[in-house]
C-alpha cells in the first residue's frame, strides 16, 4: 500500500503530454496553452483619455477660471493630429489618444464652452497627468502575458484577441472511456429491481472528466461478467487515452477488474493506496500499441469521486500539459470535530465558507452516511484532509482542504 503523495507522483510520472494542435480563439476556452502568449504591442498603445473632457496643458489651468481656445477634437479611433500650444485645448472623448503637447485631461463637468464653441472655460485646476492612462502602463510589447500550461478562461479571451491570437497552440483533449461494473447496476432510464440500483458513477465520472477539458464517453454497463469486461477493455485500448473503471477493484469474489487487466497483459503499477475513502484504487497500463492508462476506482460513489479527482484528474491535466495538474491545498479552520483513520490519510467531504474576519472555514458534512452516501456528498464543495493516524481533529483546528471542481 502506497501513500497518496506517492500515488500522485507515479500517475504524473507515467503520464505523457498529448500532441499539440491549433484551435480557433472562439473554441479555446478550457484548453491548456502549449505556447507562451506574448504582447505584440504596448497597452494602451498611446496615452489614452480616461473620460470625456478637454486635453490641456496643466500649467494653463493654474489660475481658474481659465479660458482656452478650442483647436480640435479627439475621439476613440480618431485622434487629433496637431500639437497643443500654450492657451489651447482639444475636446476629447473617453478612450481617445491624448494629443501631443497635452499633459492632462479635465473632465467635462467642470467646464463650459463660450463664444459658440470657440473657447472653453475651465473652473477647476487640473493636475499633471490627470485622467490620462499612459502608454504601456498595462503591459509593454514583448512581455509574456500567459505561460505555457495555463488553462484558458473566459477572462483571458479579450487579452488573446487584443494581441492577435486568432489561432492558439494547445494540447489535444484527452479521450476518456468510462465503464461501470457490477451486476447490481441498471441503466438510469430503467426501474431498479429489489436488488438493483441505478448506475450513477459513469455519469459523475464522465462529468468530472469533462471538467478537466477531456472528451468523455460512457460505455455500456459491464455487470460482473469477466469475459465481457475483458472484451470491453480490449476494445477501447486503442481509442482512449485513459480508461476509468468503477467497481470490481477490491478482493471480493465478484471483483474482476484486476483479473481482466492481467488477462490482457496490463502492467499493474499500483493497486492499493493508504487513503480513506478509496484504498482499493488500481492504476495500470495496457500493453502496446495503445499503451492506454487505466484507473480502476472503487464502486462506492463518494470513493469514486474522491479517487477520480486525486488521480484521474491529475492524469488528464498532465496529458494536456497543465501547470496545475494536482489539486491545490489551502489552509482552513475546522468548524466542527472530524475523525481520522488509522494508517490512512482521509479526504472527507465538507463545505467551505468565509467568516467575518476573512478566514476560510471548513465545515464537515453533519449528516453523511459514508462512502455510499452520494446524496449528502452532493452538498460538498471541498475535501477536508485529515493526516494518517490522527484519530480526531477538534473544532478550531487548522486543516488542509482541496476544492472540488464544478
For the chain, give every domain's residue range. 4-19+173-319, 26-43+139-171, 48-133, 329-403
Would you state the cell numbers that stand for residue 366, as one nine-digit string?
Answer: 453533519
pLDDT digits (tens, 9 = 90+) for 271-300: 999 999 999 999 999 997 778 999 999 999
Does the structure show a pLDDT above 80 at 254?
Answer: no
* Cβ pair 221, 185 in contact under 8 A: yes
For 4-19+173-319, CATH gives 3.40.980.10
Give the span between the Cα atoms of 48 and 99, in whole angstroms: 9
pLDDT digits (tens, 9 = 90+) for 380-405: 999 999 999 899 999 999 999 999 99
**Mean pLDDT, residues 351-360 taken together:** 96
> What's the pLDDT band for 203 if we cut at 50, 70, 90?
very high
pLDDT digits (tens, 9 = 90+) for 90-110: 999 999 999 999 999 999 999
Q: How far is CA 121 from the centre of its chain?
A: 52
Fold of 26-43+139-171: Molybdopterin biosynthesis moea protein, domain 2 (3.90.105)
Q: What pLDDT is recorded for position 372?
A: 85
**Mean pLDDT, residues 313-324 taken together:** 97
The span from the first CA to the last CA of the chain, in angstroms, equals 30
**Mean pLDDT, residues 151-172 taken together:** 97
**Given the C-alpha cell 453523511, which residue does it identify?**
368
Mapping DSSP to helix (H, G, I), strand (E, B) and coil, where does residue 32 land? strand
Higher model confidence: residue 372 or residue 51?
51
> What's the pLDDT band for 188 if we cut at 50, 70, 90?
very high
**Mean pLDDT, residues 327-344 taken together:** 95
Q: What pLDDT is recorded for position 252?
A: 56
Give the span between the Cα atoms of 208 and 188, in whole angstroms: 18
Q: What pLDDT is recorded for position 250?
A: 66
* Percentage above 90 pLDDT, the chain: 88
* Cβ pair 363, 390 in contact under 8 A: no
* Cβ pair 160, 27 in contact under 8 A: no
For 48-133, CATH gives 2.170.190.11
Please state which of the ranges 42-51, 78-87, 184-193, 212-221 shows the lowest mean pLDDT: 184-193
- Phi and psi at residue 378, to the nearest 5°: -60, -20
Would you state the cell numbers that stand for residue 272, as one nine-digit string?
Answer: 492499493
Q: What pLDDT is recorded for position 224?
A: 83
Run of H or E including 207 = helix 201-211
Give the span between the Cα atoms of 251 and 264, in whole angstroms: 19
Does the structure show a pLDDT above 70 at 251?
Answer: no
**Mean pLDDT, residues 164-189 taken together:** 95
**Given the C-alpha cell 486503442, which residue does it identify?**
238
**Mean pLDDT, residues 177-183 taken together:** 93
| Whole-structure pTM value | 0.89
Q: What pLDDT is recorded for position 290?
A: 73
**Mean pLDDT, residues 125-146 taken together:** 97
Give the span between the Cα atoms of 224 and 245, in whole angstroms: 13
Cis peptide before 277 (omega within 30 of 0): yes
Q: How far is CA 349 from the centre of its chain?
A: 20
For 329-403, CATH gives 2.40.340.10
Amino acid at each position: 500500500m502506497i501513500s497518496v503523495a506517492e500515488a500522485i507522483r507515479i500517475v504524473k510520472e507515467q503520464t505523457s503530454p498529448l500532441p499539440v494542435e491549433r484551435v480557433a480563439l472562439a473554441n479555446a476556452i478550457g484548453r491548456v496553452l502549449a505556447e507562451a502568449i506574448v504582447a505584440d504591442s504596448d497597452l494602451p498603445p498611446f496615452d489614452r483619455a480616461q473620460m470625456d473632457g478637454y486635453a490641456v496643458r496643466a500649467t494653463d489651468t493654474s489660475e481658474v477660471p481659465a479660458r482656452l481656445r478650442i483647436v480640435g477634437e479627439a475621439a476613440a479611433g480618431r485622434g487629433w493630429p496637431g500639437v497643443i500650444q500654450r492657451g489651447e485645448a482639444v475636446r476629447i472623448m473617453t478612450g481617445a489618444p491624448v494629443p501631443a503637447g497635452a499633459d492632462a485631461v479635465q473632465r467635462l463637468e467642470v467646464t463650459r464652452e463660450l463664444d459658440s464653441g470657440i473657447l472653453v472655460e475651465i473652473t477647476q485646476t487640473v493636475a499633471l497627468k490627470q485622467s490620462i492612462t499612459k502608454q504601456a502602463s498595462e503591459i509593454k510589447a514583448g512581455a509574456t502575458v500567459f505561460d505555457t500550461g495555463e488553462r484558458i478562461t473566459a477572462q483571458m479571451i479579450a487579452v488573446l484577441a487584443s494581441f492577435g491570437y486568432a489561432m492558439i497552440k494547445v494540447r489535444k483533449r484527452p479521450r476518456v472511456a468510462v465503464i461501470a461494473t457490477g451486476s447490481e447496476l441498471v441503466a438510469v432510464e430503467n426501474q431498479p429491481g429489489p436488488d438493483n440500483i441505478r448506475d450513477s458513477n459513469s455519469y459523475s465520472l464522465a462529468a468530472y472528466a469533462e471538467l478537466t477539458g477531456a472528451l468523455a464517453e460512457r460505455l455500456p454497463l459491464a455487470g460482473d461478467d469477466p469475459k465481457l469486461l475483458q472484451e470491453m477493455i480490449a476494445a477501447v485500448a486503442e481509442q482512449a487515452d485513459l480508461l476509468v473503471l468503477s467497481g470490481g477493484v477490491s478482493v471480493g469474489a465478484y471483483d474482476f477488474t484486476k483479473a481482466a487487466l492481467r488477462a490482457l497483459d496490463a502492467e499493474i503499477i499500483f493497486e492499493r493506496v493508504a487513503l480513506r475513502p478509496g484504498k482499493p484504487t488500481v492504476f495500470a497500463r495496457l500493453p502496446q500499441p495503445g499503451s492506454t492508462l487505466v484507473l480502476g476506482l472503487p464502486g462506492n460513489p463518494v470513493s469514486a469521486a474522491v479517487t477520480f479527482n486525486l488521480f484521474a484528474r491529475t492524469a488528464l491535466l498532465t496529458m494536456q500539459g497543465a501547470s496545475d495538474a494536482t489539486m491545490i491545498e489551502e489552509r482552513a479552520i475546522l468548524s466542527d470535530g472530524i475523525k481520522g483513520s488509522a494508517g490512512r490519510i482521509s479526504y472527507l467531504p465538507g463545505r467551505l465558507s468565509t467568516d467575518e474576519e476573512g478566514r476560510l472555514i471548513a465545515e464537515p458534512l453533519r449528516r453523511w452516511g459514508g462512502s455510499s452516501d452520494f446524496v449528502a456528498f452532493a452538498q460538498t464543495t471541498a475535501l477536508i484532509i485529515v493526516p494518517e493516524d490522527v484519530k480526531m481533529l477538534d473544532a478550531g483546528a487548522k486543516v488542509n482542504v482541496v476544492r472540488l471542481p464544478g
